[in-house]
């Protein structure tokens, strides 16, 4: 699998994740979200630059998690 030349960010509940409130989004990024029950495969997570998490300890609907993440990005750095 070939990746693009953008910063790859996983949005997932993980012990090593950075809380989104503290995260500085890079200028060029691709956000990856896994399935609601299983997340992303380890092989894919290992190829990413950062793992960020949303507030709370429960899994969110993938569309909601993506929307919150993009909302945070736009508020911090703009379109």
pLDDT (tens digit, 9 = 90+) per residue, 30-50? 999 988 778 889 999 999 999
pLDDT (tens digit, 9 = 90+) per residue, 1-30? 455 578 899 999 889 999 999 999 999 999
Name the band, by pLDDT with cuts 50, 70 and 90, for residue 78: confident
Q: Whole-angstrom Cα distance, residue 8 to residue 29?
A: 6
pLDDT (tens digit, 9 = 90+) per residue, 54-66? 998 888 889 999 9
Domains and CATH numbers, the chain: 7-77 (3.40.1280.10)
Report the pLDDT value the prediction gives residue 24, as an integer from 0 to 100: 96
Report the pLDDT value the prediction gives residue 4, as an integer from 0 to 100: 58
């Amino acid at each position: 699998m070939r990746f693009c030349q953008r910063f790859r960010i996983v949005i997932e509940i993980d012990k090593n994740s950075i809380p989104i409130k503290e995260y500085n989004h890079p200028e060029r990024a691709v956000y990856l979200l896994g399935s609601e029950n299983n997340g992303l495969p380890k092989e894919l997570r290992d190829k990413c630059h950062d793992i960020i998490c949303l507030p709370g300890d429960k899994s969110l609907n993938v569309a909601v998690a993506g929307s919150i993440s993009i909302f945070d990005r736009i508020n911090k750095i703009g379109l």
